[in-house]
Chain A
Amino acid sequence: MKNLSQTTLWLGLLLALTAGFIWQFYPLQDASQRLKILPLRGLGFQGEDIPLSEFEQSFFKG
């Protein structure tokens, strides 16, 4: 590895660690859409979509 490559990668790693540390204090506002990509059925399991009750909705809303 050349010196320039190494220096760039060290700096990149340092930047990634620093920015990643700071970023954890700014979580995603809403990632609920991602739940839709979970499969409902597959080999060895069969799921169904059950809506949240009113209590659960208010509970998870925080």
Chain B
Amino acid sequence: MNANTSKLLTASLLGYCFWNASNLFTPSGIRFETYGLIPLLIWILPILFYLLPQPSKFSGNPYALGVALFISFMSTIVELNVLAHLALALALISLVPLLVSLIPWYLSAISWMPAFGYFGAHYFPNVVLPLRFIVPLLGSLWGIWILYRGKS
């Protein structure tokens, strides 16, 4: 199998994870979720920063993709959206090098998940909205900084 097959496989697995997490892209009617897409777009900036200058590196880490596939599949079995969102995050993370120093960016993925809205509505309802933007922004800036250092 060649590099093109690897890219096709990565794209297929990403598609599967996106498909299972497709409820992210439908209007939910719950206020905390309606802004979910913008934090997601902010959160994927490090991936774009890493891949756009070198599209030939579009090939996910097979271990991360495997775990993402399993979690995404489990989300369909137990019908828990939060698992589908975690799997999508992991599948996207697989596109960049897996580094301990990127953990803050990995963890900031929670900001675009509807689970963050549910949790926040219970424990910190007045700051959920600002946190939805601040957390992915800080996480992405950190991620870009780490990836930039790795390149230079």
Contacts and interface: CB of A to CB of B under 8 A. Distances in A.
A31 B72 CA distance: 19
A38 interface: yes
Nearest to B66: A9
A57 interface: no
Contact of B9 (A1, A16, A17, A31): A1
A44 B128 CA distance: 11
A23 B66 contact: no
Contact of B121 (A2, A13, A19, A39): A39
Interface string B66-94: 10011011001101000000000000000
A2 B122 CA distance: 45
A43 B31 contact: yes
Chain B: number of interface residues, binned into ranges: 20 to 34
A62 interface: no
A13 B73 CA distance: 9
Contacts of A2: 62
Contacts of B122: 39
B118 A23 contact: no
Nearest to B32: A42
B118 A1 contact: no
Given A1-B59, A20-B76, A42-B32, A9 B121 contact: no
Given A13-B12, A20-B73, A39 B66 contact: no
Contacts of A20: 73, 76-77
A41 B120 CA distance: 11
A10 B31 contact: no
17 contacts: A1-B9, A1-B62, A2-B62, A6-B1, A8-B66, A10-B9, A13-B13, A13-B16, A16-B16, A16-B69, A20-B77, A38-B118, A39-B121, A41-B121, A41-B125, A42-B120, A42-B128
